[in-house]
Amino acid sequence: MIYVTRKAHFNASHRLHNPHKSDDWNRQTFGKCNNPNWHGHNYVIEVTVAGEPDPDTGYVIDLGRLKKIMQDRILDPCDHKNLNIEVPFLKDIIPTSENLVKAFFHQLEDDIAVSASENSKLYSVKLFETERNIAEYCPNRAH
Amino acid sequence: MIYVTRKAHFNASHRLHNPHKSDDWNRQTFGKCNNPNWHGHNYVIEVTVAGEPDPDTGYVIDLGRLKKIMQDRILDPCDHKNLNIEVPFLKDIIPTSENLVKAFFHQLEDDIAVSASENSKLYSVKLFETERNIAEYCPNRAH
Amino acid sequence: MIYVTRKAHFNASHRLHNPHKSDDWNRQTFGKCNNPNWHGHNYVIEVTVAGEPDPDTGYVIDLGRLKKIMQDRILDPCDHKNLNIEVPFLKDIIPTSENLVKAFFHQLEDDIAVSASENSKLYSVKLFETERNIAEYCPNRAH
Amino acid sequence: MIYVTRKAHFNASHRLHNPHKSDDWNRQTFGKCNNPNWHGHNYVIEVTVAGEPDPDTGYVIDLGRLKKIMQDRILDPCDHKNLNIEVPFLKDIIPTSENLVKAFFHQLEDDIAVSASENSKLYSVKLFETERNIAEYCPNRAH
Amino acid sequence: MIYVTRKAHFNASHRLHNPHKSDDWNRQTFGKCNNPNWHGHNYVIEVTVAGEPDPDTGYVIDLGRLKKIMQDRILDPCDHKNLNIEVPFLKDIIPTSENLVKAFFHQLEDDIAVSASENSKLYSVKLFETERNIAEYCPNRAH
Amino acid sequence: MIYVTRKAHFNASHRLHNPHKSDDWNRQTFGKCNNPNWHGHNYVIEVTVAGEPDPDTGYVIDLGRLKKIMQDRILDPCDHKNLNIEVPFLKDIIPTSENLVKAFFHQLEDDIAVSASENSKLYSVKLFETERNIAEYCPNRAH
């Protein structure tokens, strides 16, 4: 099993807010992350595909192809956008890093399955909200 | 002359928009940075003070004191805020990195003059909007 | 399963020395790391919690809460300290990175179990002694 | 189980080319990475050894010893070299990152088995071709 | 005076070789950097423009425009290329970092003069051959 | 004028303490940096030499030669040492970053003057005590 990772970044605004709860609950739970005037981040995303290299190319997946999938499925909809109100596939979730990595994983897995070498598939999506705050979704890892 | 630098970071939302110009001009000039729903960044700020170390302490400036000044004058007003509408000292400027470093410099220089060793003063403010886009204001450097 | 990581740093002095062995053995085994006058590091610690996000908050664990636990249990006792002689929970171990990550894990796991979302728990502690020398303790990973 | 990692780097030239295929196929498959005049990288390699610390030393493996093994088995043969034509153990493979990590793993595993503490062994080899393109070989991880 | 910097990267192969000197002199002077089979690097380039922000835009230079100039004048001719034999504007120089930054500066200065705000101009070109080896050309700085 | 920089690192212990002052003054002035049991850092040092490249080599200074000078004059005496009591050329100074960069500059300048190309000389010494706390000595820069 070989793991291939491609890194990219995008900038976006967001706020943490659960619309089914009161403003007080939101302020107390999310603190300054609940600011109604938004704040934002330079997000860094790492996408890892696991599989066996194709014997003809030596590639688990052509990283140029993976870069294009990440551009189409994540960066184009999210870059310089408001994650709460402008990204269709994030509708109805609170944009914590935990929820974002799960949503990004589902955005990517079908396109990657088609493009990777036989028996290869999306393994993990990791998101750096800041250098110090990181979330990863890795559903097939024996934890 | 010795140069002492302290680094810090904050997260904020903003948009580039000149209210004295038409929406069309703004869209054409600022592109996706003009998004009316905002976007955001993890800003990194580096503040440099120049001077001679105090002979008793070996400090140009106590970096704990400099950290506190940066916290009070920049991070508290800007962190997790909307730079266009929530920061009094940024009112009336377009929040490009160029304009931000100049405004931050003026926010810091008096407090630093009081706290640094004799003959020392604020030398430069550098801002990383992203890892790849950087601005610096350094008014006393012979360029 | 989602993995949430918080990074922090502290500075400390230490030496590698096994008091049950001769000075000669220690010098030969640990080389310059055995220096009786100590040396030191800027340690970077990464703490990872694994679990399912709470549906109300979207959090596996509130990273502000995790930051506080790391501050109380690791950074306050270790920062700007001598790891061999000033940290009660490191008494009787040789402060190699391997032994430190294990000790840090046990320092953190109870507080994290109380604070994380249901079914979540401490997953891994990773320590960068330098950028090039790294240790990780991850007892529940199927290796 | 504790995981100990040592990082190193080397510079090399290479091209991606499958000699059993036509020039057209190679150009179409590998694009600018197929340039017959070569291109190159600052490779960063991370080698991870897993095991239990030796009770006398607190070491899974002496990182000075691991550094020496990496120097002898990887850096000396590869640094400032052409990976396609000057490295005996890379003969007959296309030097993609996927193929490199597998070859590096086999170069290292015996020497590490001899040097690590009892029950410890090489766990993973990770290679950064650039900051954004990464491959890892980790054959014993339950994926 | 405000300084605006844009960072980019490219990968290339090269060797250090003075064709007017003997092979022996070259081997002795340049060591492993003289390898006739080439080696290579992930070069990082930082381009700094100095000037006053335009009052309408708040820009010293539109960083999107600067990115395009760097792409056209440096990255397109150099990326995934052999710097000794494939880059017309590097013909007849030894591709040390010192010589590269000077050549890159002259490649960029006219296009930047046209695109930057009034009274602004190219100030410095900095090149990281590796993380540890860096050269900068900054002809107008009072050193 | 071209500026060439070489980066290196070393680990050391130290404390900030002025022996001509009372213990109380020291505790109040230096806080936890005054800990009598020492603390430590992974120091990163950047040494910059300025001059014109030699026409035969394209070098301002052979970076292999500069690396050797830094090894002999700074790293060998300081690495894994106690900066207050084990480094002869730091005797009688308080080891703040400000005082260290000045002492390092004087350690390096003669050897560099001999090794650099004609008209070249040591320009600056920069020291990262942590990623966030930095000092630079640059005596010939028009500030």
Digit-coded pLDDT (tens) for B102-135: 999 999 999 999 988 888 999 999 999 999 999 9
Whether residue C134 and residue D50 make contact (CB cut-off 8 A), yes or no, is no
Look up residue E72 and give its two tokens: 């056209």
- Quick: pLDDT tens for A53-80: 999 999 999 999 999 999 999 999 999 9
Whether residue C2 and residue A101 make contact (CB cut-off 8 A), yes or no, is yes
- Residue D101: its pLDDT value, please? 98
Closest D-chain CA to C94: D58
D34 occurs within a structural domain: yes
Strands A39-51 and B81-82: unpaired
pTM summary value: 0.97
- Residue D141: its pLDDT value, please? 81
- Quick: pLDDT tens for D31-74: 999 999 999 999 999 999 999 999 999 999 999 999 999 999 99
- Contact status, residue C120 vs residue C66, Cβ threshold 8 Å: no
Strand partners, B4: B49, F135
Q: Is the pLDDT of residue E32 over 80?
A: yes
Whether residue C81 and residue F37 make contact (CB cut-off 8 A), yes or no, is yes
3-state helix, strand, coil in chain A (%, to 5): 35, 30, 35
For tokens 């079908």, the residue is: A110
Provide the domain count of chain C. Answer: 1
| Contact list, A11 vs chain B (CB under 8 Å) | 39-41, 130
F142 occurs within a structural domain: no
Q: Is the pLDDT of residue D143 over 60?
A: no
Q: What's the whole-number average pLDDT of chain D? A: 96
E32 CB within 8 Å of a chain F CB: no
Whether residue E140 and residue B138 make contact (CB cut-off 8 A), yes or no, is no
Q: Is the pLDDT of residue A85 over 70?
A: yes
Of the candidates D97, D41, D32, the residue with the CA atom closest to the CA atom of residue E40: D41
Query: pLDDT class for F95, splitting at 50, 70, 90?
Result: very high
For tokens 């006058």, the residue is: C37
- Chain F, residues 1-20, CB within 8 A of chain B, namely 16, 18
3-state helix, strand, coil in chain C (%, to 5): 35, 30, 35
Count interface pairs B-E at CB distance under 8 A.
Answer: 65
Q: Which of F1, F54, F60 to mutate: most E Cβ within 10 Å?
A: F1
DSSP letters of B46-89? Answer: EEEEEEPPPTTT--SS-HHHHHHHHIIIIIHHHTTEETTTS-GG
In the chain, the amino acid numbered E19 is P
- Residue F141: its pLDDT value, please? 80
- What CATH number has the domain bearing residue E120? 3.30.479.10
Catalytically active residues of C are: 33, 80, 129
What are the E-state strand segments in chain D? 2-14, 39-51, 81-82, 121-128, 133-137
3-state helix, strand, coil in chain E (%, to 5): 35, 30, 35
Whether residue B135 and residue E57 make contact (CB cut-off 8 A), yes or no, is no
Per-residue pLDDT 10s for chain C (143 aa) are 899 999 999 999 999 999 999 999 999 999 999 999 999 999 999 999 999 999 999 999 999 999 999 999 999 999 999 999 999 999 999 999 999 999 999 999 999 999 888 889 999 999 999 999 999 999 988 75
User: Which backbone phi and psi does B84 adopt, to 5 degrees?
Assistant: -75, -30
A142 occurs within a structural domain: no
C142 occurs within a structural domain: no
D142 occurs within a structural domain: no
| Contact list, A63 vs chain D (CB under 8 Å) | 133
| Contact list, C141 vs chain A (CB under 8 Å) | 142-143
Q: Which of E7, E9, E32, E42 to mutate: most D Cβ within 10 Å?
A: E42
Catalytically active residues of A are: 33, 80, 129
- DSSP run (H or E) holding B107: helix B97-115
Question: Nearest CA to CA, how far is C109 from chain D (Å)?
Answer: 17
| Contact list, E130 vs chain D (CB under 8 Å) | 9, 11, 42
- Residue C117: its pLDDT value, please? 81
Specify whether E138 is catalytic.
no
Count interface pairs D-E at CB distance under 8 A.
Answer: 73
Query: pLDDT class for F11, splitting at 50, 70, 90?
Result: very high
C80 occurs within a structural domain: yes
What interface predicted TM-score (ipTM) does this complex get?
0.95
Q: Which of B1, B5, B59 sits opposite F143 (nearest CB)?
A: B1
Q: Which of E39, E79, E80 sits opposite D81 (nearest CB)?
A: E39
- Chain C, residues 54-93, CB within 8 A of chain D, namely 93
- Residue E143: its pLDDT value, please? 54
Q: Which of D5, D123, D142 sits opposite C134 (nearest CB)?
A: D5
Domain of residue A31, residue span:
2-137
A66 occurs within a structural domain: yes
B143 occurs within a structural domain: no
